[in-house]
């Protein structure tokens, strides 16, 4: 099992991924892994295999967004876990994604990555997730370190 076509119902999986992506507001981003963390393994799919391959399935779903769906699926807000665009850097699609992320205010200046701690999405509301049988997303933002900091002496 290496791509989304191996899932029992790839169309339903893609539709669910797109529904999640539609929830990501301007000014925030999500990752393939964060979306995957919300979706339980489809029936008949081994949990360990799914945990390993789910971010790739989400990537396949995002790659399947057509120009007609693009108006409602903000695909550009889905990036990798390093905060980077996963498209080949010199492609028109990557340039479009960079431009849209800059328009959203999450990719600043000449930077080529997004600060997930600052712009990472916290996920859909709990009732929305529960109504669809989904899990709470893995967090992208780290809680602030509240331990007292020792001053550097040198």
Return the CATH number at 78. 1.10.10.10
146 is a domain residue: no
Q: Judge whether residue 65 has pLDDT over 80.
A: yes
Whole-angstrom CA distances from 36 to 114, 143, 149 are: 19, 21, 35
126 is a domain residue: yes
88 is a domain residue: yes
CA 24/CA 103 separation, integer angstroms: 15
61 is a domain residue: yes
Of the chain, the end-to-end C-alpha distance in Å amounts to 54
Percent of the chain with pLDDT over 70: 91
Where is pLDDT greater, at 154 or 52?
52
Average pLDDT, the chain: 91
For position 150, what pLDDT does the model report? Answer: 65
Q: How many domains does the chain have?
A: 1
As given in the structure block, the two tokens for residue 121 are: 């999405």
Give the residue numbers spanning the domain of 90.
4-131
Q: What is the mean pLDDT of residues 19-28?
A: 98
């Amino acid at each position: 099992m290496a791509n989304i076509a191996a899932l029992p119902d790839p169309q339903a999986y893609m539709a669910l991924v797109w529904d999640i992506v539609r929830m990501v507001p301007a000014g925030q981003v999500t990752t393939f892994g964060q979306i995957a963390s919300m979706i339980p393994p489809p029936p008949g799919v081994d949990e360990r295999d799914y945990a390993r391959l789910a971010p790739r399935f989400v990537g396949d779903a995002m790659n399947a967004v057509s120009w007609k769906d693009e108006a409602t699926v903000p695909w550009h807000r889905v990036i990798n876990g390093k905060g980077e665009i996963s498209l080949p850097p010199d492609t028109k699609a990557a340039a479009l994604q960079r431009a849209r992320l800059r328009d959203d205010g999450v990719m600043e200046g000449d930077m080529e990555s997004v600060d997930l701690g600052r712009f990472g999405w916290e996920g859909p509301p709990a009732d929305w997730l529960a109504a669809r049988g989904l899990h709470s997303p893995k967090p992208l933002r780290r809680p602030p370190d509240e331990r007292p900091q020792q001053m550097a002496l040198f």
